[in-house]
Amino acid sequence: MVISLNRRSKIALTVALSLGLTACNDPQSKTDKTATAEAAVINTAPDKAQAIAFINDAEAKMAELSIESNRAEWIYSNFITDDTAALSAAVGEKVSAASVKFATEAAKYANVELDPINARKLNILRSALVLPAPLDPAKNTELAQISSELNGLYGKGKYCFADGKCMTQPELSSLMAESRDPVKLLEAWKGWREIAKPMRPLFQREVELANEGAKDLGYANLSELWRSQYDMKPDDFSQELDRLWGQVKPLYESLHCYVRGELNKEYGDSVAPTTGPIPAHLLGNMWAQQWGNVYDLVAPDNADPGYDVTELLAKKGYDEHKMVKQAEGFFTSLGFAPLPESFWARSLFVQPKDRDVVCHASAWDLDNLDDIRIKMCIQKTAEDFSVIHHELGHNFYQRAYKQQPFLFKNSANDGFHEAIGDTIALSITPSYLKQIGLLEEVPDASKDIGLLLKQALDKIAFLPFG
Ligand SMILES: [Zn+2]
């Protein structure tokens, strides 16, 4: 399953992960804060003009850093060498240091009454860090060490089966997807979780430290920081989430019930009971978060739509460039302007034979204006045809907000960019395939059930996990 990251989101994540690698928490800040509180009586609390001056300055500096960072990251991802990795890490540290500095400073203005635009910008600056470190330098270092240790434990984690064969996480994931042996599946599921035991105390400490970091930025805890980015009060966001989930839950429960019944037919009562929760190791995924890998076990009879997009692409002579051209046509048919020449000159579509690149599909916006690109090692398959539509969804969205001030050049919230891409990808229906000449006849509507079930196994099953 290819999940792409929007550039800005990825930078936000990098900031969180690399936080503390730079010695950026100035103990002076704490002194300033106290001084400000004491001085408030003589009316020197930060005022509106100071807040706006700070926002404008921070926005200009982040805009400048963003272009430098985009270029360094693009070059690194397209030419992976020790040198490009060092340059990418260096600019990453600069972005991280600036984000920490601006978040800490933004917290000082949290109670200043501002117009809606500046209030939103201030909130974006203040809540940009996914895992904020406490102001105390020793705790900042401790949080960085814990994050790095957890990454290492996870990345190097493996499980060795009784027969002596050891597997890494990607290998265990393939086994979860492909094996239909319930004993082996259960062992792999339990085995992978052995790596989590030494992580537990580290996670507990990470939560304590990040909660303290969020408090230093003026939030009650880290959860409140995360929930304060949705144009509503943090508690209203929690309620809204519950309300929306309530709407989808009956569909999830039907899917769960149906899949449980089909798995029971496959494995029998002792392995897959007809009541209660479905044993997680039977769902084709290490986290049971997407169930598409067991489609063959649960698909109804006669659900085959009678065509295979991968075969159709080959039959009609589609190469990587033509696949992207076709996806561009989807957007121009909606009235969007065609992609700029630079997109075609600068994007990466085909895995180079002579160098290492990051193949994971991604959409880029290099100059925050028109220099949009995609980078992916396209396979001429149905899945990648859909992923290209998804990636171009990011690019057309990025271009649609290019007139906004820099801090607003991102999706409305951190889920929205992916939602745009995925909504577009859902439009690759049989009638769309006929419109673009890939398919001769749209199959009878009774064949939709297989296509819809496939979508539900990945997308509806994911919701409670997400
Ligand atoms: Zn995406």
Structure confidence by residue, pLDDT tens digits, 431-448: 999 999 999 999 988 888
Percent of the chain with pLDDT over 90: 73
Burial class (CB in 10 A: 0-12, 13-18, 19+), 403: exposed
Q: Match 């930078």 to its residue by tokens.
A: 11
**Distance between Cα 110 and ligand 1 center (Å):** 32
Closest residue by Cα to residue 125 from 138, 151, 107, 140 = 107
**Distance between Cα 459 and ligand 1 center (Å):** 14
**Distance between Cα 11 and ligand 1 center (Å):** 14
**Distance between Cα 278 and ligand 1 center (Å):** 30
Rounded to whole angstroms, how far apart are CA atoms 258 and 313?
A: 33
Q: What is the pLDDT of residue 93?
A: 84
221-240 pLDDT per residue, tens: 999 999 998 989 999 999 99
Q: What is the token pair recorded at 17?
A: 């992960």
The amino acid at residue 306 is G
As beta bridge partners, residue 441 has: none
**Distance between Cα 389 and ligand 1 center (Å):** 10
Q: Match 């997680």 to its residue by tokens.
A: 280
Q: Check: CB of residue 361 under 8 Å from CB of residue 320.
A: no
Rounded to whole angstroms, how far apart are CA atoms 432 and 386?
A: 12
Q: What is the pLDDT of residue 9?
A: 35
DSSP element (H, E) containing 176: helix 169-178
447 vs 253, higher pLDDT:
253
**Distance between Cα 5 and ligand 1 center (Å):** 5
Percent of the chain with pLDDT over 70: 90
**Distance between Cα 353 and ligand 1 center (Å):** 25
Neighbours of 123 (CB within 10 A): 17
What does the angle CA 161 – CA 147 – CA 152 come to, to the nearest 5 degrees? 30
Q: Check: CB of residue 17 under 8 Å from CB of residue 147.
A: yes
**Distance between Cα 421 and ligand 1 center (Å):** 6
**Distance between Cα 340 and ligand 1 center (Å):** 20
Rounded to whole angstroms, how far apart are CA atoms 416 and 413?
A: 6
Phi-psi region of 117 (alpha: psi -120 to 50; beta: other; left: phi over 0): alpha
120-132 pLDDT per residue, tens: 999 999 998 899 9
Q: Which residues are within 8 A (CB) of 245 and not within 5 positions of it... i.e. 6 or more apart?
A: 463, 464
Rounded to whole angstroms, how far apart are CA atoms 62 and 12?
A: 12
**Distance between Cα 463 and ligand 1 center (Å):** 17
**Distance between Cα 394 and ligand 1 center (Å):** 7
Rounded to whole angstroms, how far apart are CA atoms 104 and 238?
A: 25
**Distance between Cα 92 and ligand 1 center (Å):** 21
Closest residue by Cα to residue 137 from 270, 277, 30, 244 = 30
**Distance between Cα 384 and ligand 1 center (Å):** 12
Rounded to whole angstroms, how far apart are CA atoms 212 and 134?
A: 6
Residues 143-181 as b or e (16 or more Cβ within 10 Å = b): bbebbeebeeeeeebebeeeeeeebebeebbebbbeeee
197-221 pLDDT per residue, tens: 999 999 999 999 999 999 999 999 9
**Distance between Cα 378 and ligand 1 center (Å):** 15
Mean pLDDT of 158-187: 94
**Distance between Cα 127 and ligand 1 center (Å):** 22
Q: Which residues surround ligand 1, an ion (CB under 5 A)?
A: 4, 418, 421
**Distance between Cα 279 and ligand 1 center (Å):** 30
Rounded to whole angstroms, how far apart are CA atoms 196 and 287?
A: 13
Residue 3 predicted with pLDDT over 70: no
Closest residue by Cα to residue 46 from 98, 116, 122 = 122
